[in-house]
C-alpha cells in the first residue's frame, strides 16, 4: 500500500520556542481500491493465524473503564519499548518522544499528547514484544528510582 505523508516545517525564528506548532504532518487516506483489496486478504490472514490479535483493543477497554496508568508508569513503559522518557525529561523532550511514537504507531493522531489510545497501543506492544515487563494486573514492572 502506498500513502505518502507530507510534513511542513516552520522555520520562522519566533516559532522555535513553540515546539508544538513548529511543524505538522498530514497522512492522506489510502486509496479506497487499495482498502477494498486489503480487507479480504487481512480477514483470511487473521482467520489462519490465531496468534495475530488486535490486543490493543483489550487495553483500550481497560483504560477507558478504569483509570489510566500513572505518568511514572507510562514513562517506564516508553523506556521498556525503547522510547526514552524519564523523570528529568522536559515537557518539550517528552512531547517529541510521544509524537515520534505516535508517528510510528498512530499516525491518525500525532499531536504529542498522551491519550487513552496511544497508551493502549503502547501496552499492547509491550505485551507482544516484552511480556515479562507486565505483571498479571497489567501494571508495568519498573525499576525503583
Q: How many CB atoms lie within 10 A of CB 9?
A: 10
Extract the C-alpha cell encoding 57. Answer: 483493543
For residue 93, the Cα-to-chain-centroid distance in whole angstroms is 16
Alpha-helical runs (H) found in the chain: 32-48, 56-65, 71-81, 91-105, 116-129
Please state, in angstroms and as integers, the Cα–Cα distance from residue 80 to each residue in 77, 92, 101, 125, 134, following that order: 5, 20, 13, 10, 10
For the chain, the average pLDDT equals: 84
Bridge partners of 111, per DSSP, are: none
pLDDT tens sequence across 60-77? 888 999 889 999 999 999
What is the distance between the alpha carbons of residues 118 and 112, in angstroms, rounded to a whole number?
Answer: 10
What's the predicted TM-score (pTM) here? 0.70
Neighbours of 85 (CB within 10 A): 20
Q: Mind listing the pLDDT tens digit for each residue in 15-28?
A: 555 666 676 777 77
Q: What's the pLDDT at 55?
A: 65
pLDDT, tens only, 92-132: 889 999 999 998 998 888 899 999 999 999 999 999 899 99
Q: Which residues contact 100 (CB under 8 A, 6 or more apart)?
A: 83
Q: CA 23, 27, 21 angle in degrees (round to 5)?
A: 15
Residue ranges of the domains in the chain? 1-50, 53-145
- On whether the CB atoms of residues 11 and 4 are closer than 8 A, the answer is no
User: Which pLDDT value is given to residue 56?
Assistant: 66
Q: Which CATH class is domain 53-145?
A: mainly alpha
Amino acid at each position: 500500500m502506498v500513502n505518502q505523508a507530507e510534513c511542513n516545517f516552520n522555520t520562522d525564528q519566533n516559532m522555535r520556542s513553540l515546539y508544538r506548532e513548529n511543524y505538522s504532518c498530514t497522512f492522506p487516506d489510502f486509496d479506497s481500491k487499495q482498502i477494498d483489496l486489503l480487507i479480504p486478504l487481512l480477514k483470511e490472514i487473521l482467520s489462519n493465524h490465531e496468534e495475530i490479535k488486535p490486543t490493543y483493543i483489550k487495553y483500550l477497554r481497560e483504560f477507558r473503564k478504569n483509570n489510566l496508568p500513572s505518568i511514572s508508569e507510562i514513562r517506564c513503559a516508553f523506556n521498556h519499548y525503547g522510547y526514552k522518557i524519564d523523570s528529568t525529561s522536559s515537557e518539550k523532550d517528552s512531547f517529541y518522544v510521544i509524537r515520534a511514537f505516535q508517528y510510528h504507531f498512530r499516525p491518525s493522531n500525532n499531536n504529542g499528547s498522551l491519550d487513552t489510545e496511544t497508551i493502549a497501543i503502547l501496552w499492547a506492544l509491550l505485551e507482544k514484544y516484552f511480556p515479562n515487563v507486565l505483571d498479571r494486573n497489567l501494571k508495568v514492572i519498573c525499576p525503583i528510582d
